Amino acid sequence: MTVNRRILVLSAVVGVAMSLGASGSALAQDSLNNVSYDPTRELYREYSDHFAKVWKEKTGRTVAISNSHGGSGAQVRSVNEGVPADVVTFPLEGDILGIQAAGLIEPGWQSEFPAQSSPYTSTIVFLVRAGNPKGIKDWDDLIRQDVQVITPNPKTSGGARWNYLAAWAYELERSGGDEQKARDFVAEIYKHVPVLDTGARGSTNTFVQNKVGDVLIAWENEALLSVKEFGAAEYEIVVPSVSILAEVKVAIVDKNVDANGKRELAHAFLEELYSPESQQIFARNFYRPLYPDQVDPEALKAFPELKLVKVGDVFGGWEKAQPTHFDEGGVFDQIYSND
């Protein structure tokens, strides 16, 4: 009967499709999920290829790396709610502490890798439109009447939290340590923000594609990448007088790797971040390498000298900064209405 045959053909097609799907995942012997933050899309694309080569040389096995990107605050919640992350590569310690609090990462992860598990750093600068039409030079220009500021949502984005703290540190220093003044200053900046995207990449797109706003408070790497991709005729970078040292953090998600027997692979993935080749990759992608001496000096010229404060010195570390400023009912909730 023709109908029978058609059904047979249909089920054959289905079968082929399903086995294709199965073989797709069976092809790679090892797999690793890296949950990361928003602007590292290009970085981890390159690094994953590099690591796959290293792993192949070392073990003879192929590895498929899945990278997931988004605002780090949102990513933390995804991991806590079940996105199967084997390693996390986040922009700040507070993010990983959030996963530790959910019991997925064991305390003491900071000492698992060199430099407090911080293989590279970055900082916060301003990206303005070519010619700097609004004449923005420093943080206090952001609260001028005619200036619109683009920055992501500190609730969902790690970079946005660095932006917030950098602004706070600037005003705190200028006012000689007046917390109230710093708070008012930061609150005033957010009055100039028309859109809080959920991640740094979303904000960059708002600024460069949608052409909204006069200044983007951006990751240094994101600003340099924008100038590289869109040209100096479109954008320029303004370096403020004070900024913050953004210490990114990496960690193994203990509970997940132990459940899947992936600890060795996860460890190798993060350890390789400290190799000279990887440090080169960071510099090429505009992240400040941990070991500048291992990197081509030419690549380091992109990074300007500026005064960088540390979260540990000004805010008492992330254990304190996160609940005070960003958790439910914290300072940010008090100064910004999102409803």
Partner 1 sequence: MTRIRFREPSIIPGFRLTFGFTILYLFLIVIVPIVGLYMKTFELDWPSFWRILTGSRFQAALKLSFGASLLAALFNVVIGLLIAWVIVRYRFFARRLVDAIIDLPFALPTAVAGIALTALYVPQGWIGRLFSPYGITIAYTPLGIWIALVFIGLPFVVRTVQPVLEDFNAEVEEAAATLGASRLTTIVRVILPALLPAILTGFSLAFARAVGEYGSVIFIAGNIPRQTEILPLLIVFRLEERDYAAASAIAAIMLTVSFLILLLVNLIQSWSNRRFGNV
Partner 2 sequence: MSKGVFKKSVSPVTEPPAVRYLLIGLSILVLAVFLVLPLVTVFVQALQMGLWQALATFSDPDAISAILLTLLVAAIAVPCNLVFGIAAAWAIAKYRFPGRSFLITLIDLPFSVSPVVAGLVYILLLGPFTPVGAWFLQDFGVRIIFAVPGIVLATIFVTFPFIARELIPLMQDQGTGDEEAALSLGASGWQTFWHVTLPNVKWALLYGVLLCNARAMGEFGAVAVISGKLRGETVTMPLQIELYYQEFRALAQVSAFSLAAVLAGLALVTLVLKSWLEWRYADQLAAGNRGH
Whole-number Å distance between alpha carbons of 39 and 306? 22
- Answer whether 41's CB lies under 8 Å from 201's CB: yes
Minimum distance, C-beta of residue 195 to partner 2, in the bound complex (Å): 16
Binding residues for partner 1, rule: CB under 8 A, are: 70-71, 74, 77, 81, 153, 155-156, 194-198, 202, 206, 209-212, 338-339
Q: Which of the listed partners (partner 2, partner 1, none) does 229 bind, with a CB threshold of 5 to 8 Å by partner kind?
A: partner 2
Question: Any contact of residue 31 with partner 2 (CB under 8 A)?
Answer: yes
Tokens 């960059």 sit on residue: 204
Residue 74, number of CB atoms within 10 A of its CB: 17
Q: Which of the listed partners (partner 1, partner 2, none) does 233 bind, with a CB threshold of 5 to 8 Å by partner kind?
A: none
Question: Any contact of residue 18 with partner 2 (CB under 8 A)?
Answer: yes
Per residue, the 3-state secondary structure of 227-278, as one string, reads: HHHHCCCCEEEECCCEEEEEECEEEECHHHHHHHCCHHHHHHHHHHHHCHHH
* Minimum CB distance to partner 2 smaller for 9 or for 115: 9
Whole-number Å distance between alpha carbons of 338 and 326? 13
Minimum distance, C-beta of residue 227 to partner 2, in the bound complex (Å): 11
* Minimum CB distance to partner 2 smaller for 99 or for 309: 99
Q: In what order do the strands lie in the sheet with 30-36?
A: 63-68, 30-36, 87-90, 249-252
Binders in 187-246 for partner 2, by CB under 8 A: 201, 205, 225-226, 229
Question: Any contact of residue 42 with partner 2 (CB under 8 A)?
Answer: yes
Chosen residue from 8, 9, 17, 232 binding partner 2 by CB under 8 A: 17
Whole-number Å distance between alpha carbons of 133 and 128? 8
Q: Which of the listed partners (partner 2, partner 1, none) does 243 bind, with a CB threshold of 5 to 8 Å by partner kind?
A: none
Cα-flanking dihedrals φ and ψ of residue 30, to 5°? -115, 155
- Answer whether 218's CB lies under 8 Å from 98's CB: no
Whole-number Å distance between alpha carbons of 145 and 36? 36
Minimum distance, C-beta of residue 276 to partner 2, in the bound complex (Å): 24
Question: Any contact of residue 145 with partner 2 (CB under 8 A)?
Answer: no
Residue ranges that bind partner 2, judged by CB under 8 A: 1-4, 6, 13-14, 17-18, 20-21, 24-25, 31, 33, 35, 41-42, 45, 64-70, 78, 81-84, 201, 205, 225-226, 229
